[in-house]
Amino acid sequence: MRKIAIVSFQGEMPCFVHALLNVWNYYERGYDSALIIEGASTKLLGQIANSPKGELWAKIKDAGLVKSVCKACAAQMGTLEEAEEQGLPIDAALSGHSDLEPFTKAGYEIILF
């Protein structure tokens, strides 16, 4: 089974939505899929549930596709508490940031958004 990790960095909602659409598409097609939320995209954690793509976000969370939210970036963007309230996996393994190495070690292809 192919493995795909989508890493969302951008802080614009359209970019984040494209990351969501792609991770869900890979998942539905049978890929082992992961969503890693880094950088400015962490600021969208409080907005996505009430956006037009809120239903997609809920499906992605329910399927367990969110594998990592950067702790340092979420703290900087003011959404760390929101991420924790949503029960998202917080990662600070790389000097406070998400560590991508476990994903590449496990054979994931990394796609950046």
Average pLDDT, the chain: 97
> Looking at the domain that runs over 3-112, which CATH code has it been given?
3.40.1260.10
Paired strand residues for 4? 33, 109
* Mean pLDDT, range 53-71, rounded to an integer: 98
Q: What percent of the chain has pLDDT over 70?
A: 100
Count the neighbouring beta carbons within 10 Å of the beta carbon of residue 39: 20
pLDDT score, position 112 = 96
3-class secondary structure per residue, 11-25:
CCHHHHHHHHHHHHH
Q: Provide DSSP, 87-103.
A: TPPEE-TBTTB---HHH
* Mean pLDDT, range 91-112, rounded to an integer: 97
The structural domains of the chain, with segments of one domain joined by +, span 3-112
pLDDT score, position 78 = 97
> pLDDT digits over 15-45, tens only?
999 999 999 999 999 999 999 999 999 999 9
